[in-house]
Amino acid sequence: MSKPLFFGKSLTLMQNDNFLIQQLKDKDERALSLLYDKYAGAIYSVIIKMVRDEGKAQNLLQDTFMTVWDKAESYDASKGRFYTWVFRIARNKTLNFLRKVEPLIQTDDFSVHDSKEEAISIDAKYLELNGAITTLEEHHKKAIELVYFKGLTHKEAHQQMDVPLGTFKSYVRQALKQLRKAYTKTLSVLLLILNAL
Amino acid sequence: MMDKKTILDNGLLEQYLLGELNAQECEQIEQVLASDTELKAQFDAIEKDFETLGLENAIEPPKGIKYQLIQDIREAKDTKNNKNNTNLKYYLGIAAAIAALLMLGNFWMYNELNVVKDQLQTVETEKTELNDKLNNLNKQIDEEIALFSTIAHPDTEQYVLKGNTLMPDGKVVSYVNHSTKSVVINTERLPKLDAEHDYQMWADVEGEMINMGVIAKDQNLMAMNYIDHAESLNITIEPAGGNDHPTVSQLVSNVYLN
C-alpha cells in the first residue's frame, strides 16, 4: 500500500515543479516567487558558507534568482534538475565574486578559500551543517562540505584535506552512498508514518 | 571519447553536477548521459541526494530579499519598456525632423523654381521685345539706307514741289533718279491733314495721271513709285487711303521734270 502513495506524492510534486518552471519561462512572477520559496533557503545556505558574509550572500542570492528569471528559457529539464541548475548559477556567481573582490589572497593553487577564512567573522550558525551529513564520518563529511558548501573543486579540495585526488574522490563517493542510505531510511520512516496514517 | 567507466572511476558525475567541469567536458558527459539510461539513473539519484542535502541545510534568507527581487524584476521590465518607448520616440523624432527638413527644402526649392521661372519668362519677353526692336531698327535702317542711297546718288535730281494757293506754306522736296528708277520725297514741310484725308502723288505721262502712291503721315522721308516717262509730279488731297483718279480741284502742288 505504501508504494503507490509515495509515487503519487512524488509525481504531484514533480508535476508542480515542471508546471512552475514552464510558467517561469513564460515570465510569471508568481512562479518565480514559489520556486524561490522552495529553493532560496538551500541556495542561500551554500552561498553564505562560501562568502561567509551575510550582506554579500544576500546580494548574491538576489543576483542568482535574477539570473534564474532572465535565463529561465535556457534551463533544459532533460539535462538535470532545476535545483541543480540554480545551484550551479549560484556557485559560479559566488566564485566569480570572490575572485573579483579578493584576487590578492589567491594562493598558488588558485584556491580562493583557504586563506583569510579566520579573518572574516560570521555567526557560526550559518556555517553549521544539519541533517544526514552530520551522521557521516568526519573525513566524508569534510569532503562533501568542501565541494558542495565551500565551492572548491575536487582538485582544490584534496589539497586542502591533504590526501591524494583518487582518495578524495572515493571519500565523496562513499559519503554519497552513506547519504543515500540515510535518505532511504528517512523515506522509509516517512512512508511508515504515511502508511500508518 | 568519454565512456561510462571513465566517468564513474573519476567521479565525473559529481564534478559535472557541481559545475566544476568545462564546457567541452560537460558536453561529453551530457552525450553519454543521454544514451546510457543506467548512468542517467545514477546521476538522477546523486542529484536528488545533493538536493536533499541542500534542503536539509537550508537557511531562510531575510524576507526583504524576495521582495527586492520582485521589485527589481518589475523595474527592469518598466525600464525595458521605457527604453523601447524612448528609443521609438527618439527615432520618430529624428524621422519627423528629417521629414520637416525635406519639406522645408522642397518648399524652398519650389519657391526658387517659381522665381527662376518668372525670371526666365521676363528674360524671354525682354528678348522677344529686343528682337522685335532690333528687327524694326534693322528694317528702318535698311529703308533709310535705301532712301539715302537714292538721295546721295550722283544721277539723282532734286525737284521742289512748292504749294499753290491751297497750300501756300507747304512744300515737298523730291529726288528723282532715272537710272535707278526711284523717287524719294521729303515731306517735312507738308501741313498736317485730318484723319479723313491723305496726300496722294501722281505722275503725268502724256496727259494721264498715274498713281505714285499715298504719302504716309508718319514718315518724313519716303520712297514713291517711279513712273517711266513722267513729265511732272503732282500732289492732291484725297480721301484717306487714296483715290483711283486725282481730284484736280484738290491739287496742292506740282513740278515739271526736266
pLDDT of res. A102? 65
Q: The CATH number of A129-197 is which of 1.10.10.10, 3.90.79.10, 2.40.160.40, 3.20.20.80?
A: 1.10.10.10
Contact B254, B162 (CB under 8 A): no
Question: Residue B121 forms beta bridges with which residues?
Answer: none
Q: At what angle are helices B23-35 and B37-56 packed, to 10 degrees?
A: 120
pLDDT of res. B240? 92
Average model confidence (pLDDT) across chain B: 90
- Answer whether residue A47 shows pLDDT above 90: yes
Contact B57 A183 (CB under 8 A): no
Residue B29 with chain A: CB contacts under 8 Å: none
Mean pLDDT score, A25-49:
93
Q: Is residue B128 assigned to a domain?
A: no
CATH number of the domain where residue B219 is located: 2.60.40
What own/partner pairs with CB < 8 Å and gap ≥ 24 does B153-158 have? B153/B177, B153/B179, B153/B180, B155/B179, B155/B180, B157/B257, B157/B258
Q: Is residue B152 assigned to a domain?
A: no
Contact A66 B73 (CB under 8 A): yes
**Cβ of A171 under 8 Å from any chain B Cβ?**
no
Residue among A92, A129, A180 minimizing CB distance to B19:
A92
Q: Is residue B18 assigned to a domain?
A: yes
Q: Is residue B127 assigned to a domain?
A: no
Residues of chain B with pLDDT under 50: none
> Using 50, 70 and 90 to split pLDDT, how confident is the model at A2?
very low
> Using 50, 70 and 90 to split pLDDT, how confident is the model at A8?
very low
pLDDT of res. A103? 58
3-state percent breakdown (helix, strand, coil) of chain B, nearest 5: 55, 20, 25
- Answer whether residue A112 shows pLDDT above 90: no
Residue B55 with chain A: CB contacts under 8 Å: 41-42
Q: Looking at chain A, which residue has its C-alpha nearest residue B70? A: A29
Domain with CATH 1.10.10.10 in chain A: 129-197
Q: Is residue B241 assigned to a domain?
A: yes
Contact A69 B70 (CB under 8 A): no
Residue A13 with chain B: CB contacts under 8 Å: none
**pLDDT tens readout for residues A131-149:** 888 888 899 999 999 999 9
pLDDT of res. A15? 53
Task: State how many domains chain B has.
Answer: 2
**Cβ of A180 under 8 Å from any chain B Cβ?**
yes
Contact A43 B54 (CB under 8 A): yes
Q: Is residue B185 assigned to a domain?
A: yes
CA end-to-end span of chain A: 12
pLDDT of res. A3? 42
Write b or e for each residue in B69-89: b if 16 or more Cβ atoms lie within 10 A of its Cβ, otherwise e. Answer: bbeebeeeeeeeeeeeeeeee
pLDDT of res. B1? 63
DSSP E strand stretches across B80-207: 157-162, 171-177, 182-186, 197-205
Q: The CATH number of A1-111 is which of 1.10.3720.10, 3.30.460.10, 1.10.1740.10, 3.40.640.10?
A: 1.10.1740.10
Q: Which of B8, B56, B60 to mutate to test the interface with A (most CBs of A within 10 A)?
A: B56
- Touching B: A residues 64-103, CB under 8 Å: 65-66, 69, 78-81, 83-84, 87-88, 91-92
Q: At what angle are helices B37-56 and A165-196 packed, to 10 degrees?
A: 80
For residue B189, give its domain range. Answer: 157-256
Q: What is the predicted ipTM?
A: 0.81
Between chain A and chain B, how many beta carbons pairs sit less than 8 Å apart? Answer: 123
Domain with CATH 1.10.1740.10 in chain A: 1-111
pLDDT of res. A105? 53
- Answer whether residue A186 shows pLDDT above 90: no
- Answer whether residue A111 shows pLDDT above 70: no
Reported as half-sphere exposure (CB side, CA atoms, 13 A), residue B202 has a value of: 26
* Burial category of B246 from C-beta neighbours within 10 Å (exposed 0-12, middle 13-18, buried 19 and up): buried
